[in-house]
Amino acid sequence: MKPLQSLLSKGSQTVKSLYFIALGMIQKLVIHFKFPGIALISKKPKISRQVTEIVKGHTNAHGELIYYVQGDPGYEDLDHAVVFISKYEAEKSGYRRWNY
pLDDT, tens only, 49-66: 666 688 999 998 899 999
Q: 52: domain range?
A: 42-97
CB under 8 Å to 96, separation ≥6 — which residues?
Answer: 64, 65, 66, 67
Average pLDDT, the chain: 74
Is residue 28 domain-shared with residue 65, that is, in the same domain? no
Q: Please give the pLDDT value at position 74.
A: 85
User: Bridge partners of 83?
Assistant: 56
User: pLDDT for 19-38, tens place per residue?
Assistant: 667 666 766 666 656 655 55
Give the predicted TM-score (pTM) of the model.
0.49
Is residue 29 domain-shared with residue 55, that is, in the same domain? no
Is residue 55 domain-shared with residue 23, that is, in the same domain? no
